[in-house]
Amino acid sequence: MLRYYHISKVDVANCKVPKFYYLVAVDVRDWLSTEVGYKEAYKEKIHQKECEFINNAQNNLLDPIALQAFSADEFEIVINGSDIPMKKKTALESAYESLRVLHHLNMTDEERKHEILSNTKPAEEFLDRINKGEVIHYYFLPSDAYEMNGNMSDGLIVDLEEIEMLNVDDARMIQSPGIDYILLPTVCATERERLTNLFWLETENDFVLLVDNISSPWVEHLMQRFSYAFIRVGVNGPTKDDFSRIVKSISKEVRK
């Protein structure tokens, strides 16, 4: 999985600031298949299947939370050892299987990808809501905004609430000589652990690279969305009933 940073080479060279604050962005396809992205996109579908399973379990005097924690084999042992009537047992097994296929505790990215491809609509609708600004936690940045031959059917999901910091020394190191998993043995244990955790260096194929710049007006649009998400203020404002009373009071003023 790639982790993207947006850093100005001019800022690094001129050392305008002591540190950089950045947002984390992940390839949209990778993000959708993670536990976080998948749960966000399929929240309603998962909730629906969970309710069906919980109702079936409770109707048979079973603990739905405990049952969900069981593996498929353990679930079958419990069900087969109970005195639940066959018709109810079949309904419970069906509800369990429907939920487990859609979501379970040890679900892998590959399993999530399979389910997304079998029912793409929730993912498509969720990405559309992100793009419209209805989900203020995230931002979709199409590859057309940062790649020469980019398009609107590819891009990154930016987490507007995941703000991290990069110091100037690390920023310069990324430019030269570079930060690479293979070079980790050449540094001390403390520095090796820091770089591994900060830059997600987990395998010999992992490295840090400055690749592209976000073009205008996309960079301004991203900053605008971030500002809105970061500084928004919640208030208990007027309701629809309040506005109804305002409009209805017009006629009272006329009668006077």
Whether residue 189 sits in one domain with residue 62:
no
Residue 15 lies in a domain: yes
- Quick check: 10 pLDDT over 50? no
Residue 174 lies in a domain: yes
Residue 241 lies in a domain: no
Whether residue 154 sits in one domain with residue 28:
yes
The predicted pLDDT at position 13 comes to: 54
Whether residue 213 sits in one domain with residue 176:
yes
The span from the CA of 5 to the CA of 211, in Å, is 9
Chain centroid to CA 80: 38
For residues 182-187, give the mean pLDDT: 88
Residue 121 lies in a domain: no
Residue 37 lies in a domain: no
The predicted pLDDT at position 11 comes to: 53
Residue 146 lies in a domain: yes
Whether residue 97 sits in one domain with residue 76:
yes
Residue type, 15: C
pLDDT tens, residue by residue, 29-47: 999 999 999 999 999 999 9
Whether residue 15 sits in one domain with residue 49:
no
The predicted pLDDT at position 75 comes to: 87
Shortest CA distance to 145 belongs to which of 45, 214, 89, 92? 214
The predicted pLDDT at position 38 comes to: 97
Residues spanned by the domain of 185: 9-32+139-231
Whether residue 145 sits in one domain with residue 87:
no
Whether residue 172 sits in one domain with residue 223:
yes
Of 51, 83, 102, the position where a domain reaches its end is 102
For residues 242-248, give the mean pLDDT: 85
The predicted pLDDT at position 172 comes to: 83
Of 102, 123, 147, the position where a domain reaches its end is 102
Whether 202 contacts 57, CB under 8 Å: no
Sign of the four-CA dihedral 37, 42, 47, 49: negative
Could you give the number of structural domains in the chain? 2
For the chain, what percent of residues have pLDDT higher than 70? 90
Whether residue 223 sits in one domain with residue 150:
yes
Residue 251 lies in a domain: no
Whether residue 178 sits in one domain with residue 159:
yes
Residue type, 55: N
pLDDT tens, residue by residue, 55-98: 999 988 888 888 888 888 888 888 888 888 889 889 999 999 99
The span from the CA of 154 to the CA of 109, in Å, is 19
Whether residue 218 sits in one domain with residue 150:
yes
Whether residue 81 sits in one domain with residue 24:
no
Whether residue 144 sits in one domain with residue 72:
no
Residue 127 lies in a domain: no
Sign of the four-CA dihedral 186, 192, 196, 198: negative
pLDDT tens, residue by residue, 116-157: 999 999 999 999 999 999 999 999 999 999 988 989 999 999
pTM of the entire structure?
Answer: 0.77
